[in-house]
Structure 1
Amino acid sequence: MNAVPALYACTISHVRTTPRRYALRHRTYMWLIDPDHPPQLPRALRPLARFDPRDHFTGDRQSVRAGLDAFLAGHGVHLDGGRVVMLTHARVLGYVFNPLTLYWCYGPDGEPRCVVAEVHNTYGGRHCYLLHPDASGTARAEKKLYVSPFFPVDGGYRMRLPPPGPQLALTVHLDREGGRAFTATVRGTRREASTARLLRLALRHPWSTLAVSAAIRVHGIRLYLRGLPVQPRTDDHRAPENVT
């Protein structure tokens, strides 16, 4: 298994194909960590990377791992102490927005048991998908969370989520009646999680998670001004408030 913690300098791409084609790209960075042993940063750097259990699952567990184990137990899955590798954005300067956090879950023998995809929207909602990828790392799931104001909660995801290695290569397709509506990709290169590397990435991408959230809203406004109809939000996947 890959050593953690690690950092990935990433390019995130979104391509919308219906009802009007629209594409965007955004550069950022993500952490790969063991939630049982999150990075211990020097005191001066801690505001640049905080991994808070309030930001994941129900938000009321003592640790991220406890939240994950409770979610899995609710679906009849037990890791029996096996290792978990988590890909996520950290809370930076008191703010976090995680469109997608992934957990690769292993049994005590090191064999993969499942993947959990935790999706957050810009309305404060979150939903977790329990996945059992095939040998290629591909899994499917019915869409359950309102994410984009221009898509209703229908259709299904086809996700290709191979475990991160020297390169990160993730793909999420949204398929609706009539064909593929949306594709998101995350491509990244693994870097050592050193103090110098974190400082360089933080300077290159200041307020990184706030920038992601702001970019989503800006592109949403552009699509609205181009005439895309807004779909009513009917689901109720509210998460606890993410306060500093």
Structure 2
Amino acid sequence: MTHRLYDCQVMHARLSPRLHRFVHDVFALAVDLDTLPQLGKGLALLGPDGWRPYQIRERDFLPRSEVFHPKKQSISDFGEPSDGLKARVLAFCKSQGTHIPLTARVTLVAMPRAFGKSYNPVSFHLIHIDERLYAALAEVHNTFGERKVWLLGPDCLQKDAVGESMLFLRTPKEFYVSPFSGLTADFEFSVREPNQRLSIQVDHFEGGVKTLVSTWTGQRIPLTDMRLAWLTVKNPFLIFKVISLIHLHAAWLWLAKGLPFRRKKDQPELQHDLRNPH
């Protein structure tokens, strides 16, 4: 698979207890980890490291760090300190009971590090065996620097309405992402194959009721310096923009719409399997 560039939109629609909706432009990459070192070939603005304004660095994803798990249950494994990102993906899958062969293709779907700053509210590691979608990891990152990873294993495979493969998982969240969402809620991930279009949905359920819909959709465009320059004009300071908008909308929900504010420190016993706990 060649590396791919997507011109995207992120949409959030809060359904309860107050209505609130927004749409923002971003862009994303789908990167084959086996050929990540060749990512910058022929490009001045994007590469795996170095001085380029946009980068995909392996160390920005699935970092090895402390695990916080109050229940003392079995913990996940991200492999050895010397492992590359693909090896860390396979190690995590193995720790969850899913063996992935070394010949599998792993594709990272994420926003790039931009002008030295890296932050992805969610990124995905899609796993293909024999060129067929088989599994994925969803890596969710909050603004405290914490991360949590979920495996969408082969038992999550489904067919969508047009017969294409997708991965679907509804799972307990047990992770502090927003002061307006309970820790006992569920995440529902729906991930489709990123071909000409990117289509990912992450919904939120509290008490069995859908309270938040979020989508990440995009159209594939040529991966060239000209397109990256155009996206830079369209989305200046990409990562700073994303982080600023998260805080701006949170302030609006609290101050203007009166949503109750939950503090992260109030329920540590409900926050499990965190990387880099705050």
Say yes or no: TM over 0.5: yes
Match of residue 125, structure 1, among 146, 153, 176 = 146
- Given that 1:53 and 1:67 are in contact with CA atoms closer than 8 Å, whether structure 2 keeps it comes out as no
Match of 1:192 in 2: 222
The match for 1:231 among 236, 249, 262 is 262
**Equivalent residue in structure 2 for 1:92, among 114, 125, 137:** 114
SS at match of 2:8: strand
2:10: which partner in 1? 12
Correspondence 1:161 to 2:182: no
Q: Report the RMSD for the aligned CA atoms in angstroms.
A: 2.0
Residue 202 of structure 1 aligns to a residue whose secondary structure is: helix
Q: Percent of aligned positions with the same letter in both sequences?
A: 27
The residue aligned with 1:32 is 30
The alignment partner of 2:211 has SS state of strand
Between 73-82 and 37-46, report the one with greater CA deviation. 37-46
Q: How far 1:141 moved relative to its partner?
A: 2.0
Which consecutive unaligned segments of at least 5 residues does structure 2 have? 47-51, 65-80, 161-165
Q: How does 1:73-84 map to 2 (within 5 A)?
A: 73-80=94-101, 81-84=103-106
- The list of structure 1 runs, each at least 4 consecutive aligned residues, that deviate by more than 6 angstroms after superposition, is none
Partner of residue 171 from structure 1, selected from 189, 201, 204: 201
Partner of 1:51: 56
Q: Deviations over 1:36-68 (max 9, x none)?
A: 222125685243221222221124554221221
Could you tell me how far 1:78 is from its partner in structure 2?
A: 2.5
Quote the Cα distance in structure 1 between the aligned partners of 2:277 and 2:84: 15
> 5+ residue gaps in structure 1?
none
Q: Distance in 1 between matches of 2:276 and 2:232?
A: 27
Task: Measure, in 2, the Cα distance between the counterparts of 1:240 and 1:150.
Answer: 20
Aligned residues: 238
- Say if 1:14 and 1:23, in contact at 8 Å, map to a contact too: yes
Match of 1:119, as an amino acid? V
Question: Cα offset for 1:139?
Answer: 2.5
TM-score in terms of structure 1 length: 0.90
Q: For 1:72 and 1:133, locate their aligned partners in 2 and report how far apart those are by CA, in whole Å.
A: 15
Report the counterpart of residue 214 of structure 1 in structure 2: 244
Equivalent AA in structure 2 for residue 85 of structure 1: T
